[in-house]
């Protein structure tokens, strides 16, 4: 089982950090994506999206990543998922 957290060490909430789960899982692996926040997995925000959310009093940082473009974060996530799938298939051969 592969676990991926969004965020840098020390920024991932204790309730969702999965590094220990990976250690406890048979053949588990763990990765984190720096420069991301919990909502970075969502699609890229449209122009004006952040302003709309603020006008609706949304407090979660849905359109605010931590210094990286969402496209770059998505690319890293895709690479991590592909790597995990390839490793799983390799282990089953």
Q: Can you give the pLDDT at residue 75?
A: 97
Q: What is the pLDDT of residues 26-63, one digit of tens each?
A: 888 999 999 998 889 999 999 999 899 999 999 888 89
| SS3 state at 89 | helix
CB 31 within 8 A of CB 2: yes
- pTM of structure: 0.82
> What does the radius of gyration of the chain's CA atoms come to, in whole angstroms?
15
Residue whose C-alpha is closest to residue 36's, from 75, 89, 82:
75
Tell me the two tokens of residue 51: 């302003």
Mean pLDDT of 70-82: 96
Average pLDDT in the chain: 91
What per-residue confidence (pLDDT) applies to 80? 96
């Amino acid at each position: 089982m592969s676990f991926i957290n969004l965020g840098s060490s020390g920024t991932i909430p204790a309730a969702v950090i999965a590094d220990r789960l990976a250690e406890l899982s048979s053949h588990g692996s763990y990765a984190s994506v720096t420069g991301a926040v919990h909502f970075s997995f969502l699609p890229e925000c449209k122009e004006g999206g952040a302003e709309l959310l603020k006008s609706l009093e949304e407090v979660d940082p849905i359109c605010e990543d931590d210094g990286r473009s969402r496209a770059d974060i998505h690319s890293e996530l895709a690479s991590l998922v592909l790597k995990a799938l390839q490793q799983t298939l390799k282990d089953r051969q």
